[in-house]
Amino acid sequence: MSEQDFPPQVPPVQPAATTPVAPSVPPQRKSRAWMWWTLGIVLALALLIGSCTLPLAMLLRGDQIGGDGFGNDSIAVIYVDGVIAGTGDYYSGYVTPEYFKDLLDQAEEDDSVKAIVLRVDSPGGTAAASEEISRYVKAAGKPVVVSVGDVDASGAYMISSQADEIWAMPASAVGSIGVITEIPNVEGLLDQLGIEFQVITSGKYKDAGSPWRSLTK
């Protein structure tokens, strides 16, 4: 037998080496402790700011006379902004006589306060509440100066009119305390039609403003 009758020898094939795979580790949940810390800090700051707010938005601003920072003399600034009413909350947009009187008393009793500034920005409100506050301003024992914002009208101007001075920008709307009342009078027409109204009242002026007759003096 010749060499050509035998198949050629093939070297054995070694299996490929495999790299062992480490078992997967489940992802760790991130700690939420930082969220609670952040929330706590925010709440603490909110409480701090709230506790530092002066009651009822009254600011005592020193004029720095006789030293640095707050001097011995101060000016009390009382804000009259919003609707003037007998009842309501200042933070809901109402100014009541009780709220105003409380601030005015604080300014009157503080010996360092030499003058009072009313920062007025109000369209007015009820007649009774406006008149009551205006009487408090008139009876104030310290100089009262009004600084007008956008509007000082109706009952708000009734209050401002009792101050020693009123300062306003040219574009501020100031005035209008009950400046107009319209009452129709059809007495002449009724006479032409032969119609007469008989009115019975419990007082002389109970039917004041009636369209059926002319106004009396």
Query: What tens digit of pLDDT does each residue of 124-177 get?
Result: 999 999 999 999 999 999 999 999 999 999 999 999 999 999 999 999 989 877
The SS3 call for residue 155 is: helix
What pLDDT does 34 receive?
67
Question: Which residues form the catalytic set?
Answer: 154, 206
Domains along the sequence of the chain with CATH: 55-175 (3.90.226.10), 183-217 (no CATH)
Q: Is it the case that residue 39 has pLDDT exceeding 60? A: yes
104 — pLDDT class (breaks 50, 70, 90): very high
C-alpha span between 185 and 134 (Å, rounded): 34
Nearest Cα residue to 151 out of 128, 135, 175:
175
Nearest Cα residue to 183 out of 204, 207, 209:
209
